[in-house]
Structure 1
């Protein structure tokens, strides 16, 4: 890992700064929307628009990179991100924000793909898995750090919009000045959804459901916090707790998953998540319990996402891995678009608890489906499975593909 940090620190630093900027804008808009008296449903549309743009970017950005090159796409999309982050405060209307969120989602998708390509090119075959692990860690650290910065200014002013814009602009400096040359980019072959579903029904359904969970957590946590009357510091701590849980639980859950039927672990974790969310909805939790619930759901949702990818990978040939990764991320994106909108509607219908209710229902649905799938076919033996790879829902296709390939190679080396 030290070798990876020494060789790739400019790229990893740039990625962390990008995630600080992205993490700040999501939390900040939820709080500023309340100040501007934008209703919950309109804010849910704004939050959903980011995932629509991200999904669009996953289809278009690779072609742009292939046509004009990494550097031009990187610089152009980075400029768009910085501009939009500033313009949010100048045009506080939900329709304008929604259009801006489409642009910024598209841009971040393209930037992630480009950065992942560079990081992949900067790594050797021996260090590629470690590099992607460091990439995931930096992403989560960036989002956690973003929540700390939420407390340095007034969300009703301009400073908190300027800070992420500046940080995103600075993020491109270490990446563009890194000695690593721009890599050759190849468009990933696509696997049909029918083929993907035939390979792993649980993987496809689970990834769709987890897309909804992640987008609700990433997009609607601050909207819920403002409705619940939390202060800026309390909202930022709540959001940070979600990612602290994800960072802490990934590795121990991954270690366990390599030694048992992954479906049992998916069932147990999703059921635990559903129970935790039910306790929040049905109880009258203190703020301390809300923080604990945030750590629990973050510590469950992120590893389940990685588990589902690893489980699907267990039924694929190495040659199909890249195509399957692209298909799974597209399914995840479809689920993510619906997450904020359904959450916003539920909060209007049922009250603030609709935020936790939505996440709990999706977790319960995954637990039920996983238990049913366990009756449909036997699990692969531990010797037949690949290794668990730490992955984040914010990662692009290349990162997922590379991390899964590295995990597969590690598993074969151990065997």
Structure 2
């Protein structure tokens, strides 16, 4: 990072950017693998919410630095390098359980494409959308007439949306089907981005408001896809899975700015959000919750079934509420009539009534004999 302030030659900057990108990818891979190893599946949504909150908080603060220090000088690069160095201190001082020693893990792209195809599709789409946003949203905001400070505020506002949505997203992710949530948020992103995609120029208030809403949706896709993928992969393969997800996201984040940049150059800056709408619409079509079989779902993953109160546990209708039971079998069992118990015969009833009376008479005779013997004595 410090090399950027020492060299102004563009080819050297490209090499330095590649090195920085590789370093950040390795950091993300280690962090996410560590979190996935330590987090139970029923709490993975909340754990990833905390992880994404910390990440987006740093991004928001980074954008706000541009407001405080709009002059783009080497001081900002030194600040970033200082932050990279300081972030190692809490890791070195933590008493938390460190991840198990890593073994060489093959990438296995074919295996993951068969096991978690919808997660990879969602991660690729998230890379296209978020990569184009980070790379070209400042250009779009500048074309709308915003100053450098206002561009920083716009980016900070959008990233703040991703920060705020992570905690409720974690609660939803641990309670509902994650594939359904991915499709819902992709559809909501299409609707939220339409105003900025249709109009070449919008007022500043609309720009900030609609940009905030669109960012609420777009920053939900990646954590949902990652949590959904980890629900269907064994623990020993999660390092390879994390690498596969990050590589897929990186491919999308590399292609997104290039493709959206060409479209913006030809048709105008507002085509950035048209590109976002198109990518989100494709995700809506490709993510199919009904195609998820849950055959490879890990043992501690949350079950997606009908929740029933404890009072229903003894009811004969409880089986009918269980989606795992064949409905036809339930109907056949409910239609089966129970044979009535045979009524007792009159003679048997008379004998049963006579037995208590006879026993009472015997008791009375015994008492009379005792009294007579007493008087004789």
What range is the shorter-chain TM-score in?
A: 0.5 to 0.7
Residue of structure 2 in register with 1:363 after alignment: 280
> Residue 154 of structure 1 contacts residue 160 of structure 1 at CA under 8 Å; is this kept in 2?
no
Residue of structure 1 in register with 2:233 after alignment: 316
Matched residues in 1 for 2:137 and 2:230: separation? 31
Residue of structure 1 in register with 2:246 after alignment: 329
Residue of structure 2 in register with 1:349 after alignment: 266
Matched residues in 2 for 1:181 and 1:309: separation? 22
Name the CA shift for 1:385/1:300 in 2 (closer, same or farther; >3 Å). farther
Name the CA shift for 1:187/1:286 in 2 (closer, same or farther; >3 Å). farther
Secondary structure in 2 aligned to 1:355?
helix
Matched residues in 1 for 2:39 and 2:122: separation? 32
1:107 counterpart (19, 23, 45): 23
Q: Give 1:336 shift.
A: 1.5
Name the CA shift for 1:215/1:307 in 2 (closer, same or farther; >3 Å). same
Matched residues in 2 for 1:202 and 1:310: separation? 12
Residue of structure 2 in register with 1:147 after alignment: 63
The equivalences for 1:75-114 within 5 A come to: 81=1, 83-87=2-6, 90-91=7-8, 94-113=10-29
Matched residues in 2 for 1:132 and 1:254: separation? 7
The answer to whether structure 1 residue 227 and structure 2 residue 146 are counterparts is no
Name the CA shift for 1:183/1:85 in 2 (closer, same or farther; >3 Å). farther
Matched residues in 2 for 1:178 and 1:313: separation? 25
Residue of structure 2 in register with 1:289 after alignment: 206
Residue of structure 1 in register with 2:362 after alignment: none
The answer to whether structure 1 residue 190 and structure 2 residue 109 are counterparts is no
Rg larger in structure? 2
Matched residues in 1 for 2:32 and 2:15: separation? 26
> Residue 135 of structure 2 contacts residue 257 of structure 2 at CA under 8 Å; is this kept in 1?
yes
Matched residues in 1 for 2:177 and 2:302: separation? 16
Compute the TM-score of the two structures, normalised by the length of structure 1: 0.62
Matched residues in 1 for 2:275 and 2:186: separation? 13
> Residue 50 of structure 2 contacts residue 167 of structure 2 at CA under 8 Å; is this kept in 1?
no
Q: Give 1:363 shift.
A: 0.7
Q: Give 1:318 shift.
A: 4.1
Name the CA shift for 1:167/1:329 in 2 (closer, same or farther; >3 Å). closer
1:94-128: CA deviation from partner (whole Å, max 9, x where unpaired): 4333222112112223444566788899x899xx9
Q: Give 1:161 shift.
A: 3.3
Matched residues in 2 for 1:311 and 1:117: separation? 14
1:206-237: CA deviation from partner (whole Å, max 9, x where unpaired): 21111111211223222333333311221112
> Residue 85 of structure 1 contacts residue 164 of structure 1 at CA under 8 Å; is this kept in 2?
no
| Structure holding more helix per residue | 1
Q: Give 1:280 shift.
A: 0.6
Measured on the aligned residues, the alpha-carbon RMSD in Å equals: 3.6
Secondary structure in 2 aligned to 1:150?
helix
Name the CA shift for 1:338/1:317 in 2 (closer, same or farther; >3 Å). same
Residue of structure 2 in register with 1:4 after alignment: none
Residue of structure 2 in register with 1:212 after alignment: 128
Residue of structure 2 in register with 1:40 after alignment: none
The answer to whether structure 1 residue 271 and structure 2 residue 187 are counterparts is yes
Aligned length: 302
Q: Give 1:326 shift.
A: 2.5
Matched residues in 1 for 2:247 and 2:231: separation? 19
Residue of structure 2 in register with 1:298 after alignment: 215
Residue of structure 2 in register with 1:339 after alignment: 256
1:69-106: CA deviation from partner (whole Å, max 9, x where unpaired): xxxxxxxxxxxx3x23433xx51x54333222112112
Residue of structure 1 in register with 2:363 after alignment: none
Q: Give 1:146 shift.
A: 1.1
> Residue 53 of structure 2 contacts residue 166 of structure 2 at CA under 8 Å; is this kept in 1?
no
Name the CA shift for 1:166/1:204 in 2 (closer, same or farther; >3 Å). closer
Name the CA shift for 1:379/1:323 in 2 (closer, same or farther; >3 Å). same
Q: Give 1:367 shift.
A: 1.0
Q: Note the residue ranges of structure 2 that are not aligned, 5 or more in a row.
A: 308-377
Matched residues in 1 for 2:96 and 2:230: separation? 30
Matched residues in 2 for 1:260 and 1:176: separation? 36
